Every structure is written in C-alpha cells, then in structure tokens.
Amino acid sequence: MSKLNGSEVDVKSLSSSNPAILEIENGQVEVIGEFENENLDYIQRFDIDAHTEPVSDGSILKKVDRKFMVAMTITYTLQFLDKVVLNYAKVMGMTKDLHFKGNQFSALPTYFFVAYIFAEFVQGFYFIQKFPVAKVLAVNVFIWGVLSACCAATSNFAGMLVVRVLLGVSESSITPCLVLLTTNFYTRSEGAFRIGIWYSGLGLGQIFGGIISYLFQLVNASFEGWRIMFIVIGVLNMFAGIYVWFMIPSTPLTSNFLTAKEKYVLLVKLTDGKIGVNGTKFIWTQALELLFDIQAWLLLIICATISFSSNTISTFSATDIMSFGFTSKQAALLNMPSGVVSIASSLLSLYVIMKGTPRFLAIVLFMIPAVCGGALMSFLPKSSKGGLLVGIYMVNTVTAPLAICYSWAGANFAGSTKKIGSTAIFISIGFAIGNIVGPQSYRVADAPNYYPAKISMLITQCVSIGLAFLIWGIYFLRNKKRDREQKNMEISSEKEVEDVWNDLTDFQNRSFRYVY
C-alpha cells in the first residue's frame, strides 16, 4: 500500500487494472498515464504540497532547450543538406557521370516531392498519430541517411530517380515531427522562436553544403567527389537518427530529464495555449473539420507560393552563379552567404514575433527584400555580376516567412488529429507543391539566364504578401466573433483546463483565440 494524494492505494492492483505509468517518489504514487487523457489526469491528481522543491518556468525552459534545440537544428540541417548537395553534385559533374539528358535533373526534385506528398498522408494520419512522434522522426532520419548514402551507388538517371523518390517518402515526416515536438514542449510564444532556431538549419545546410562541395571538388581520386559527399551526408544522418531514438522524448510525461513537479508546471503552462499535446487516436470529426477549415487551405497555398522561391533558389543557385561566369568551385563559395542570409532572416523574423510583431506583418516585411531580389535577378543584365549576386542573396530572405508559416500553423490549430493533419498534410503538401513546380520552371531551353523561372519567383513572392493579409483578416474576424460570444460569460479555470486537454479543436473550444 502507498499514498496517492493522501489516500491509501494498492499500487499492484492499480498498475494491473490500468495501462498507467507510475512514478514513486518518497512513498508517493503519481498516476501519469491512466485512462485516455493522461495529461489532464496528471494535472488534476498532482499533489503540489507533496513536492516542495523550487521549480521555475525559466529553469524548465532551459532544460527543454538543452534537450531539443541542438538535436532539432542538426536534424533539420541534415535534411536540407541532402537537397543542397544535390545542387552541388550537379556542378561537380554528377549529371555528366550519370549521363543525364534534357530536363532530367529537374525531374529529381520534382518526383522527390511527388513521393513526399503521397507519403504525407500515411506518415501524418497513421505513423505520427499512432506512434510516439520522436520515434517516428528517428526511424525516418535513419532511413533517409541510408538512402542518401545509396545515391553514391547509382550509375544512371533511373537509379538516382528511384533513390530520390524513396528519400521523399522518408523525409516527408521530418518537418511535421519537428513542429509537433515544438508544440508539445513550448508555449505558442516560445515555440515561434524555437521553430526559427531549428529552421535556421536551412541556412546552415547552405553554408556547410558550400564548404563540403568545395572540399570534395579538391579530391583527386577515381571515386568521384560527389559520390563521397553523398556517403558522408548519409552516415551523419544515420548517427543523427540513432541519437534521436535514444535521447529525444515525445511528450512531457514520457521525458526522463524532467522531475515530476517540472512535468506538472510545464503542462500547466502549456494549458494557457489551449492547444494540448497530440494524442494517439485518429478522430474522423477532426479530420473533416480540418478539410472544411479555410485557414488550412490558405496556409497550404501560401506555403506553396513561398516554397516556390525558397526551393528554386536553393536547388539552382549554384547553376545561376555559374551562369554569371564563375567556376563550380567559385559557385560553391559564393553561394555560402545565402545561408547566412537565411539564418539571420529566420531568427530575426521570429525574434520580432516574440516581441509582439504580428506574424502576418513579419511575413510581409521579410517578403519585401525577397521581391527586390527577384526583381534584380529578373531584370538586371548578365554583365551586372555584383547586382545579380545581391539579388540571389536577397531572395533567400524568403526562408523566414516559411518558418513563420510553420509557427502560425502550430499556434492556430487545436485537437490532436486536426493539429497533426494541419502540419503533416496541409502545410507540408503546400511546401511540397512549391518544390514540385519550382524546379520545373528551370528548363534547359531557357539556359543560361532562365528568365521565366526568375520572373515566376517574383510573381509568387508578391502573391504571398496578399495571402498573408487575407489570413490575418480571417483570424481577426474569428476572434472578434468569439469576443462577442463570451462578452458576458464566465468560464471557470477548471473548465478551461479540461477543454484544452479533452482534445477539443479550435472550433469546439470557444475560448481559443487565433494568433495573428
């Protein structure tokens, strides 16, 4: 027998009758995983008087940051590095070695993201919903590491295409998993900046990709440098997958780096965001609600228009720089500042959001330099090498609005199935559509200037600005309507907590307010 909040409990019978997780500290039994709603159950049963150790939000935040930020940033860096090295592999002679013809290189990123879209439905509505999100992430990171290494073994276009398609399947889970882990451990305001931190892996991938490409172009061996590059990236990914499996938890209650009281304080803090931690049951009503929610479709479209530029510039920037008259080695080095711009703009944009700048306004502000960069690339003559390089660098500020869209989606959908679906299906498919269409705009017939592709980037950037204002207007009207509904209503704090952890969607929980 032991004590549970002052009452005697038969621990053996309790653990055998319920699929509960038990924590025993100083003779106290904490029931964590009883029944379906383990988070609400934990909050309601926790005996705060029995845990007198001092705990602060700041100390918990530091612990969570140490556990997640480096691992998540490295994971996203490696994911993007896989795409960047394909860009560099082209200028290192891959297309010649594998006997590519016509637009076959453009087909690689296109079919990668076609597979990415179809895999999203399985990854998002089955694996991520059914299994712990960190485990899903770890397995996919390891698999994509194996596949990246397999790129080195290909001998023709067909072989490379098959490997890239399989890579699209494994990589489809990465961004949704990282967004969900962020919303599981951080509040909406904290999560915005943390998404910016791990999303800066995109810029780090550009920087390290340039360094790696330059170094492997110096390799003088019978085994081509681009093949060695794929093997190195693949091995790094495999190590990253193993680390995530053993070191990264999926939810606060399954984390072993937090004490019982720290878990309680963190869950109470997460309650204020009215989002909740994702559950493991697929709920059809939430899926249907997501399907008919206009915000999901608009976020899909804006992610597509932003991704059109972000992927196109990352995939073909080395090709563009070489078209200005630079060598492949010079292109590898000259493309590195693009990564610095991506990192700086992503972190700066989400920092200003933390300081109170509305998300829609931050998107607009960081799309403006991208539009200017697109205009420079589209209309400057080929002789203006400096201006064209500046244009490429400026376009890379487009990565910041995409990070904002991830944090926007993470903050404005509630309900486990709806939240997972919004990130894994709508946001990721929007991202994939932009990545499918973008590379196709670079046609061999338009070489070496590729003006149609550059003008297309400029147009989609302008459309993104209009969509940001439209999404803001919808959130503004929804919040005003709910303010009127609840003007004279009193809702107890206990009811608000229950609404958060009882897996209500943002439609069902009328206390939910959308973040602009």
Query: Residue 338's CB: how many other CB atoms inside 10 A?
Result: 28
Domain ranges of the chain: 2-50, 57-501
Three-state SS for 371? helix
pLDDT the model gives residue 500: 63
Three-state SS for 111? helix
Please tell me whether the peptide bond between 448 and the residue prior to it is cis, using omega within 30 degrees of 0: yes
| Burial class for 359, CB neighbours closer than 10 Å (0-12, 13-18, 19+) | buried
Please say whether the dihedral angle defined by the alpha carbons of residues 136, 137, 139 and 144, taken in this order, is positive or negative. positive
What are the start-end ranges of the H helices in 324-398?
328-334, 336-354, 359-379, 385-395
Question: Tens-digit pLDDT profile for the chain (516 aa)?
Answer: 333 333 333 333 333 333 333 443 443 434 433 334 787 788 888 888 888 888 898 999 999 999 999 999 999 999 888 777 887 788 788 999 999 988 888 888 888 888 988 898 888 878 988 899 999 999 999 998 999 999 999 999 999 999 999 999 998 888 889 988 998 899 887 888 888 899 888 888 878 877 887 887 777 666 788 898 899 999 999 999 999 999 999 999 999 999 999 999 998 888 876 565 555 677 889 989 999 999 999 999 999 999 888 767 766 777 788 878 888 778 878 888 888 898 899 888 878 887 888 999 999 999 999 999 989 988 888 778 888 899 889 998 988 898 889 888 888 998 888 888 888 778 888 888 888 887 778 777 887 778 888 888 899 999 999 999 999 999 999 999 999 988 877 666 666 666 666 778 889 888 888 988
DSSP assignment string, 242-288: HHHHHH--SSGGG-SSS-HHHHHHHHHHHHTTT-----SS--HHHHH
| CA end-to-end span of the chain | 52
pLDDT the model gives residue 278: 57
Per DSSP bridges, beta strands 22-25 and 7-9 are unpaired
Q: Give counts: helices (H), strands (E), the chain.
A: 24, 4
Residue keyed to tokens 């991208």: 370
Phi (first) and psi of residue 102, to 5 degrees = 55, -125
Angle at 235 between CA 212 and CA 228, to 5 degrees: 45
pLDDT the model gives residue 448: 77
> Rounded distance, CA 27 to CA 203, Å?
50
Q: Of 327, 367, 347, 346, nearest to 458 (Cα)?
A: 367
Residue keyed to tokens 């390799």: 219
Q: For residue 417, how many C-alpha atoms fall within 13 Å in the half-sphere facing its CB?
A: 15
pLDDT the model gives residue 407: 84
Query: Residue 347's CB: how many other CB atoms inside 10 A?
Result: 18
- 463's CB contacts (< 8 A; 6+ apart) are 305
**DSSP category for residue 9:** E
> Rounded distance, CA 419 to CA 225, Å?
43
**318's tokens:** 């080395």
Options 3.20.20.10, 3.40.50.300, 3.40.47.10, 1.20.1250.20; CATH for 57-501 is 1.20.1250.20
Amino acid at 336: M
> Rounded distance, CA 239 to CA 149, Å?
13
Is the separation of the CB atoms in 442 and 269 below 8 Å? no
> Rounded distance, CA 124 to CA 129, Å?
7
Is the separation of the CB atoms in 335 and 90 below 8 Å? no
pTM for this predicted structure: 0.77
Q: How far is CA 390 from the centre of its chain?
A: 27
